[in-house]
Chains A and B, each alone.
Chain A
Amino acid sequence: MKKIVSMLLCFGMLFSALSGCASSPSTTTPAASTDATATTSSAPASNSESGESVKITWAVFDTDNYTDAFWQHIIDAFEKDNPNIKVEKVLMTGDSRPQWLKTQLAGGNLPDVNVDPVELAKQEGVYAEVPASMLEKYDDSVIATFNGKHNLVPAYKQLRSQVYYSKKLFASAGVSVPTTWDEFTNVIKTLKAKGTTPFITAGPSDVWATGFGYWQGVINAELENKYPDFNADLLAGKVKWDNPIVESALKTWQKWYADGYYDKGSMSYSYTQSSAEFLKGKAAMMFDGAWSAPTLDKTKNTDIGCFVCPTPSGVKNYCTMPQYWGVSNACKNKDAAFKFCEYVLGGNTEIYKYYLQGDGNASVTKTPVTYDTGAIQSQFIKNLDDHKLVPEITKVVGDTALPTGFEDYLNKSLQTILVGADVSKTLKDWDTEMASLKS
Chain B
Amino acid sequence: MRKKSVLFLCPAFLVYTILLIIPILGAFMLSFTDWNGFIQSPIKFVGIKNYLKLFSDARLANAIGVTLHITVAVVVSVNIIGLLLALLLNKSGKLTNLFRGIFFLPFVLSTVAISFIWMSILSYTGVLNTMLGAVGLSSLQGDFIGNASNAINSICIIEIWRMTGFHMVIYLASLQTVPADIYEASTIDGANAIQKFFYVTLPNIVPGITISVLMSIINELRQYDIVKVITDGGPGFQTETITYNILTQAFGNNKTGYSSAIAVFLFVMIAAIAVIQINISNKLEVK
Closest to B124 in A: A265
Q: Which of A153-161, A358-366, A379-387, A411-419 contacts B (4 or more CB under 8 A)?
A: A411-419
Q: Flag whether B98 is at the interface (Cβ < 8 A).
A: no
Closest to A126 in B: B40
Contact check, A96 vs B252: say whether CB atoms are below 8 A apart.
Answer: yes
A269 CA / B145 CA spacing, docked (Å) = 9
Contact partner of A204 (CB less than 8 A), chosen from B37, B235, B253, is: B235
Contact partner of B37 (CB less than 8 A), chosen from A31, A96, A102, A417, is: A102
Given contacts A265-B125, A266-B146, contact A416 B254 (CB under 8 A): no
Q: Return the CB mask of A77-105 against B: 1 if under 8 Å, else 0.
A: 00000000000000000011001001101
Q: Flag whether B58 is at the interface (Cβ < 8 A).
A: yes
Q: How many Å from the CB of B253 to the closest CB on chain A?
A: 3
> Which residues of the partner chain B approach A37 to less than 8 Å between Cβ atoms?
40
Contact partner of A405 (CB less than 8 A), chosen from B123, B236, B252, is: B252
Q: Flag whether A124 is at the interface (Cβ < 8 A).
A: yes
Contact check, A204 vs B124: say whether CB atoms are below 8 A apart.
Answer: no
Contact check, B143 vs A268: say whether CB atoms are below 8 A apart.
Answer: yes
Q: Return the CB mask of B239-269 against A: 1 if under 8 Å, else 0.
A: 1000000001001111100000000000000
Interface residues on B, range: 35 or more
Is the contact region of chain B dominated by helix, strand, or loop, or is it mixed? loop
Interface residues on A, range: 35 or more
> Which residues of the partner chain A approach B237 to less than 8 Å between Cβ atoms?
412-413, 416
Q: Flag whether A408 is at the interface (Cβ < 8 A).
A: yes
Q: Return the CB mask of A203-224 against B: 1 if under 8 Å, else 0.
A: 1110100100000000000000
Contact check, A205 vs B231: say whether CB atoms are below 8 A apart.
Answer: yes
Contact check, A416 vs B124: say whether CB atoms are below 8 A apart.
Answer: no
Is the contact region of chain A dominated by helix, strand, or loop, or is it mixed? helix
Q: How many Å from the CB of B42 to the closest CB on chain A?
A: 10
Q: In the complex, which of the residues B145, B231, B254 has the most CB atoms of chain A within 10 Å of its own CB atom?
A: B254
> Which residues of the partner chain B approach A416 to less than 8 Å between Cβ atoms?
235-238
Closest to A418 in B: B235
Q: Flag whether A243 is at the interface (Cβ < 8 A).
A: no
Q: How many Å from the CB of A434 to the closest CB on chain B?
A: 12
Interface residues of A in 380-401 (CB under 8 A from B): none
Q: How many Å from the CB of B190 to the closest CB on chain A?
A: 49
> Which residues of the partner chain B approach A125 to less than 8 Å between Cβ atoms?
40
Contact check, A404 vs B234: say whether CB atoms are below 8 A apart.
Answer: no
A277 CA / B125 CA spacing, docked (Å) = 9
Q: Name 24 interchain pairs, CB-CB below 8 A, sorted by A.
A: A31-B39, A36-B39, A38-B39, A96-B251, A102-B37, A106-B37, A106-B38, A203-B146, A203-B235, A205-B229, A205-B232, A210-B235, A265-B124, A266-B146, A268-B144, A404-B254, A405-B253, A405-B254, A405-B255, A412-B233, A412-B237, A416-B237, A429-B58, A436-B53
| Those 4 A-B pairs whose CB atoms lie nearest each other, nearest first | A267-B146, A265-B124, A204-B234, A416-B236
